[in-house]
Every structure is written in C-alpha cells, then in structure tokens.
Amino acid sequence: MAYLRYACQVVVVAFRHSLSITQNIIFVAVLLVGLVIWYAPGPHMGVDLTVWLPTLSGWRIAFMVTALIVGGRLMMAPYWIHQGLQATIAEQRARLETDTVSQNSLHHAVQIEFQQTEPFMRRHEFPAGNARFEVYVKITNAGNGFLSECVTSIVDIMPRPATDIYTILSPLITLAKGEHRYVLVAGFNEVKGTNGQLVYNDLVTFAFATGGFTTLEPPTADAPAIITVEAKALECRTERKQFKLWVGENRRLFMADA
C-alpha cells in the first residue's frame, strides 16, 4: 500500500508541477529537427532525412511531443518530491530554531492539566511498610514561544489551614514551546508502627521554593478540600484551576477537577 501511495503521489506531482523550461526545450528541439528535415534535405547532407517527414507530421508529432513531456515529467517527479521534502524540513527546522529563542506572544499560553491516572497520581512504597501517595498537575507551555519565570502555586485552600500562606509548589522555571513539567501538589503519608498498625497520616501541601509546608486533616469524599492551583509567567495571562482533594476509604489520596 505504501508503494501504491508513493506511485500515486509521483503521478500527481508529475502532472501538477510546473516545468516550463523543460517543455520549451522539447518543443524547440522538435521544431529544429523539423526545420532541418524540411529545408535542408539536399545532396550535401550525409543522411537523407526526408524519409522521416511522414513520421514527423500530423497526429504523430503531437503524440510524440506529448509522450516526451509526460515521460520527462514522470522521470522528474521523484526529484521534485525529494526537493519539496527538503524545503519542508528546512522550513520546520528554521521555525523550531526561531521558537526556542523567541518569546511567547499568545495570551493563553500556560495550561494546567490533571488526570486520575499515572503519572498524575503516584504511590511510593518504602521498605519499612510505609507508603506515600502523591498527586501532580502538568504545567504546559501551549504558546508560540518560550515562557520565562513560570511559577506554580496554591493560592487558596478550603477549609483554610492554620497557617494561611501563599504556597509555592515549584521555583521559577523557563518553559520552551510545547514543554511541560509535572508539579507535585500534595502528598499523603501513611506511617505504620512496629506492629503494623497505622500511627500517622495526614495531608501535606508542599512549598519547595519557600521550604515551608501546610498540613490538613485528611478530608473525606463527602467533604473534600478545595485547592486553587495557579500557574503564571511573564509572557501570558495567569491560569487558575480548582481541584477537590480527599482521602478514600482505602486510605488513598485522590484529586479531581472541582
């Protein structure tokens, strides 16, 4: 099937491509041969070309010219396809090189995404039997250039914790066009004692850039915590999304769009 598609592409390119120079050369060559045969069939010529007059007359000459043009186009079509691909590759390479050094100019560029699957939701097991559940958001640069000083934060938590602080989830970063980062939003620790019974668990929202953190009592599915995540950069507007956070009956941390 791939070969048939390529053959069809060759035929299409052969009939669509402009080849005025080659066509002119073929027409001029045929006319010159005709003029030589018609006007110079004298005894001084080593070969009597008048026998070719019936062949180069009427519908035959039209058919020969058409066949030469079509044949020439079919022979040149693979080269034209290759030439077009090289031009496309060069254009895309130049665009990529430009995008990496140009700033974003789109209003909606930074995006926040979450899904209830890995790698957004992760569970880590430790040798002592302890476990840690973590939830992440994906911060993506969907603009047309790079974003500088991009920062992800939690700007609101309901119910409000005892320490009401502006929680920075990630330090300042630069995102190239199309680049994304997974940012940790919250973690739930499950620590067991020597007898295997649960001795400690709570909900922790981290602030890596400031070194502090905020803790909450484990919210339930009926009364989840509402967290507002914010992502912003210098070259675009601020993006905000709200999520529900809760701990399920199986003591697993969950998050969903609010």
Choose the final residue of a domain: 37, 68, 101. Answer: 101
- Judgement on whether residues 181 and 233 belong to the same structural domain of the protein: yes
- The chain-wide mean pLDDT, for the chain, equals 77
- Judgement on whether residues 115 and 229 belong to the same structural domain of the protein: yes
Q: What is the pLDDT of residue 215?
A: 77
CATH number at residue 138: 2.60.40.10
Count the domains in the chain: 2
Confidence of residue 232 (pLDDT cuts 50, 70, 90): very high
User: What is the token pair recorded at 154?
Assistant: 């939690």
Give which of 138, 139, 137, 141 is closest to 100, Cα–Cα.
Answer: 141
pLDDT, tens digit, 9 for 90 and up, residues 49-81 = 555 555 555 556 566 666 766 777 777 778 777
Q: What is the pLDDT of residue 135?
A: 92
The count of other CB atoms within 10 Å of the CB of residue 96 is 12
Boundaries of domain holding 85: 2-101
206, amino acid identity:
F
Residue 30 has pLDDT above 70, yes or no: no
- Judgement on whether residues 56 and 12 belong to the same structural domain of the protein: yes
- Cα 124 from Cα 42, distance rounded (Å): 99
Mean pLDDT of 154-161: 84
- Judgement on whether residues 71 and 13 belong to the same structural domain of the protein: yes
- Judgement on whether residues 130 and 224 belong to the same structural domain of the protein: yes
Q: What is the pLDDT of residue 38?
A: 53
- Judgement on whether residues 127 and 235 belong to the same structural domain of the protein: yes
- Judgement on whether residues 221 and 191 belong to the same structural domain of the protein: yes
The DSSP line for 66-78 is HHHHHHHHHHHHH
- Cα 245 from Cα 182, distance rounded (Å): 17
Q: What is the pTM of this model?
A: 0.60
pLDDT, tens digit, 9 for 90 and up, residues 94-144 = 666 555 568 888 889 999 999 999 999 998 888 877 888 899 999 999 998
Choose the final residue of a domain: 41, 73, 101. Answer: 101
